[in-house]
Chains A and B, each alone.
Chain A
Amino acid sequence: MIPTTLQTLRTLTRHELEDSVRSRRVIVLSLLYVAGSTAATLLFVAILQKVERQLAESLGVTVASGTGSVTATLWKSDGFRHILTSLAGSESLATTLLRVPPLALFYGWLSFTFAPALVMLTSTARISEEVWSGSARFVLFRTSRLHWCLGKFAGQAVQILGALLLSAAGAWLVGLLRMKSFEPAATALAMLGFVMRGWIYSLTFLGLALAVSQWCAAPNLALALGFFTMIGLAVLAGVSDHFAGEGWRRAWDLVHALTPGGHGTDLWWGDAAHLLPACVFLLSLAFVYLAAGYARFARRDL
């Protein structure tokens, strides 16, 4: 009895997760990411504490024990709102960001910046190493190449979500223990929002990583090419954003839309009008990248 597509995908996803758990490399990388984000949050809190103390000293006031009390006041001040508006380039975006607890905002920045690198480290060699070792040859007469690739994607996606949730929990715990004016529920909720956004953003890079993995037979080459492509796309996003304009320069907008960075800013917004199109675009990009890799993988010798 041939299993249904859903049954096959469930089997492949489960195996991918189990294999990731068994192979210590992926576990170590994910734990390093969690440890790194927790450490970065600790550093953020420490710097915040220092800045607050210096600010209090120069103003000649006593600072309340714990971090965050000055920041909480600053967060609500008009002066800071103006600074943030000029940085974000939009008053409504600045207003949106000011509604978010500072720690959640920092966590969002952290996941948008470093989660793609984690994805590249853990996923770029997943297909190529199985082709390289020949273990794919025991599987690809039992299921189709397309199902196998989609199963890999799903398994890796669940794994990335797990790493992001764990890192958010670590950062939240740091805030709870080290920040005075910490709003546990509001910060947790905001962080969860950033976990989901960071996850969707990471899925685009997962599509890219598995596309590279489908193209390259050698795992090390795939890893190097994955990072090269990620950096290339970041540069392309910056360049296209810089040169976009009227007339023929609108072509740069198209280029910008084809890079993950082209939709990253929209993920900072809190409303569905910005978030939804960004998520749809990013997920579509993930599958476009994956399909580009599959175009070769479907035809190549294994």
Chain B
Amino acid sequence: MTAALLLRGVVKCYGRRRALDGLDLEVPCGSVFGLVGSNGAGKTTAMAVSVGLLRAAAGSCDLLGAGSFRAEVHAGRVTLLPQDSRFPPHARVVDLLHYYGRLQGLPDDRRGADIEALLAWVHLADRARSPVRTLSHGMTRRLAIAQAFLGDPELILLDEPLNGLDPREAARIRDLIRERRGRQTIVISSHNLGDIETLCDRVAFIEHGRLMRQDTLDRITRRSHRLTYLLTGDAPLESLRHDVPEVDWQVSRDGRELTASYTDPWTPQSLNRRIVPLLLQSGELLEIRRGSDLESEYLNLTPPLPL
């Protein structure tokens, strides 16, 4: 699988502070890739460096196998949803999108239809002729998302795309992203790990400008080799260890959360068939989860902040 975005040893300094400290990142083509990290970890900087808005002090960046960002090669193929950036306030929504489309080289006959479809997607069709300054924060955010998807670019970088959206609009944007899976490469930076978990197939943890871990979501959360059971009563740990000794059993402190880590030939189905009857004997079974959640993995991997 070729990389849509490849960063190698990228260093970016703001004065004395190193925002990126030799960051390595490999985003495969067609993936929906999540960037996870604490505030100031370097996620926004990594995106801005990728599209040439910020200049790296060292390292290399390769976009779509065509080297570092150059407008004459990448314009229209790579887009960005920047964080905390404002549109020209006097421009009308539809004019602004036409302007961006023209710069991307979208042909006239396709541009109008694309813009119409995108505005309908982000529920801004009725505000197409409104000046940007008259839009609410959420509407402006949706316009920012629309511009990132304009012209079906090959690589889309979304910095906190769901921030400031109401739940209904956020769900709609999630659908938009899911719909593009496999057709376009989408990189999402977010603090909301639930969003990353539902949208992404690959995840990178970044801390202090360095890559901590990068892998598929399945491997990080061990979805195919871990099951978690939520119980109302205490887990029958002894009998489980006796009956299924080849599985690693762990119980939470309160005894209500049981984790089974297994290897082949066990599958979730075969394991459930074997142990669910046992668990039901000791109480009610509330939930079965595949793998651990991303938040736990992130918290396990990253050191806690000093008090």
Q: Which residues of A contact B (CB under 8 A)?
A: 1-3, 7-8, 11-12, 15, 18-19, 22-23, 130, 133-135, 137-144, 147, 299-302
The answer on a CB contact under 8 Å between A144 and B80 is no
Q: How far is the CA of A18 from the CA of B147 in the complex (A)?
A: 19
- Cβ of B244 within 8 Å of any chain A Cβ, yes or no, is no
- Cβ of B254 within 8 Å of any chain A Cβ, yes or no, is no
The answer on a CB contact under 8 Å between B86 and A142 is no
- For B106, the closest partner residue in chain A by CB is A1
List 11 additional contacts besides A19-B91, A130-B88; criterion CB under 8 Å.
Answer: A3-B104, A11-B103, A15-B99, A135-B85, A135-B86, A138-B82, A138-B100, A140-B51, A141-B78, A301-B53, A302-B54
Question: Which residues from B are CB-within-8-Å of A141?
Answer: 51-53, 69, 71, 74-75, 78-80
Question: Which residues from B are CB-within-8-Å of A11?
Answer: 99, 102-103
The answer on a CB contact under 8 Å between B85 and A143 is no
The answer on a CB contact under 8 Å between A22 and B90 is yes
Q: How far is the CA of A301 from the CA of B55 in the complex (A)?
A: 6
Q: Which of B132-173 contact A (CB under 8 A)?
A: 144, 147
The answer on a CB contact under 8 Å between A143 and B82 is no
- Cβ of B109 within 8 Å of any chain A Cβ, yes or no, is no
Q: How far is the CA of A21 from the CA of B144 in the complex (A)?
A: 23
Contacts A2-B72, A3-B105, A19-B91 given; does A140 touch B85 at CB 8 Å:
no
Q: How far is the CA of A147 from the CA of B99 in the complex (A)?
A: 14
The answer on a CB contact under 8 Å between B88 and A134 is no
- Cβ of B84 within 8 Å of any chain A Cβ, yes or no, is yes
- Cβ of B76 within 8 Å of any chain A Cβ, yes or no, is yes
Question: Which residues from B are CB-within-8-Å of A3?
Answer: 75, 102-105
Most chain A CB within a 10 A radius of its CB, from B69, B76, B79, B144: B76
The answer on a CB contact under 8 Å between A302 and B53 is yes
Q: What's the least CB distance linking A82 to chain B, in Å?
A: 55
Most chain B CB within a 10 A radius of its CB, from A3, A7, A138, A142: A142
- For B79, the closest partner residue in chain A by CB is A141
Most chain B CB within a 10 A radius of its CB, from A7, A11, A147: A11
Question: Which residues from A are CB-within-8-Å of B51?
Answer: 140-141
The answer on a CB contact under 8 Å between B107 and A1 is yes
Contacts A18-B95, A143-B75, A299-B55 given; does A134 touch B85 at CB 8 Å:
yes
- Cβ of B266 within 8 Å of any chain A Cβ, yes or no, is no
The answer on a CB contact under 8 Å between A140 and B90 is no
Most chain A CB within a 10 A radius of its CB, from B48, B51, B88: B88
Q: How far is the CA of A300 from the CA of B53 in the complex (A)?
A: 8
The answer on a CB contact under 8 Å between B54 and A143 is no
The answer on a CB contact under 8 Å between B99 and A2 is no
Can you name 27 A-B pairs with beta carbons within 8 Å?
Answer: A1-B105, A2-B76, A3-B104, A7-B102, A7-B105, A19-B88, A19-B90, A134-B85, A134-B86, A135-B85, A137-B48, A137-B82, A137-B85, A139-B103, A141-B51, A141-B71, A141-B78, A141-B80, A142-B71, A142-B75, A142-B76, A142-B103, A143-B75, A144-B70, A144-B72, A301-B54, A301-B55
Question: Which residues from B are CB-within-8-Å of A1?
Answer: 76, 105, 107
Question: Which residues from A are CB-within-8-Å of B69?
Answer: 141
Partner among B54, B71, B87 whose Cβ is within 8 Å of the Cβ of A135: B87
The answer on a CB contact under 8 Å between A137 and B53 is yes
Partner among A8, A19, A134, A299 whose Cβ is within 8 Å of the Cβ of B103: A8
Q: How far is the CA of A302 from the CA of B55 in the complex (A)?
A: 9
Q: What's the least CB distance linking A184 to chain B, in Å?
A: 39
Question: Which residues from B are CB-within-8-Å of A22?
Answer: 90-91, 131
Partner among B73, B79, B84, B107 whose Cβ is within 8 Å of the Cβ of A134: B84
The answer on a CB contact under 8 Å between B86 and A133 is yes
Question: Which residues from A are CB-within-8-Å of B104?
Answer: 3, 142
Q: What's the least CB distance linking A95 to chain B, in Å?
A: 50
Q: How far is the CA of A143 from the CA of B99 in the complex (A)?
A: 11
Partner among B79, B84, B90, B107 whose Cβ is within 8 Å of the Cβ of A23: B90
Please provide the 7 A-B residue pairs with the shortest distance between their CB atoms, ordered closest to farther: A134-B85, A22-B90, A144-B71, A142-B103, A141-B51, A3-B105, A137-B82
The answer on a CB contact under 8 Å between A138 and B55 is no
- For B77, the closest partner residue in chain A by CB is A2
Question: Which residues from B are CB-within-8-Å of A140?
Answer: 51-53, 71
- For B74, the closest partner residue in chain A by CB is A141
Question: Which residues from A are CB-within-8-Å of B70?
Answer: 144
Question: Which residues from A are CB-within-8-Å of B87?
Answer: 135, 138
Partner among A8, A135, A143 whose Cβ is within 8 Å of the Cβ of B88: A135
Q: What's the least CB distance linking A71 to chain B, in Å?
A: 46
Mask, B218-255, CB within 8 Å of A = 1, is: 00000000000000000000000000000000000000
- For A18, the closest partner residue in chain B by CB is B95
Contacts A141-B79, A144-B71 given; does A133 touch B85 at CB 8 Å:
yes
Mask, B31-58, CB within 8 Å of A = 1, is: 0000000000000000010011111000
- For B53, the closest partner residue in chain A by CB is A302
Most chain A CB within a 10 A radius of its CB, from B84, B95, B104, B147: B104
Q: How far is the CA of A147 from the CA of B72 in the complex (A)?
A: 10
Contacts A2-B76, A15-B99 given; does A138 touch B52 at CB 8 Å:
no
Partner among A2, A19, A137 whose Cβ is within 8 Å of the Cβ of B75: A2
Q: What's the least CB distance linking B242 to chain A, in Å?
A: 60
Q: How far is the CA of A12 from the CA of B82 in the complex (A)?
A: 21
Q: How far is the CA of A180 from the CA of B72 in the complex (A)?
A: 59
Q: How far is the CA of A300 from the CA of B54 in the complex (A)?
A: 7
Q: How far is the CA of A137 from the CA of B54 in the complex (A)?
A: 10
Question: Which residues from A are CB-within-8-Å of B82?
Answer: 134, 137-138
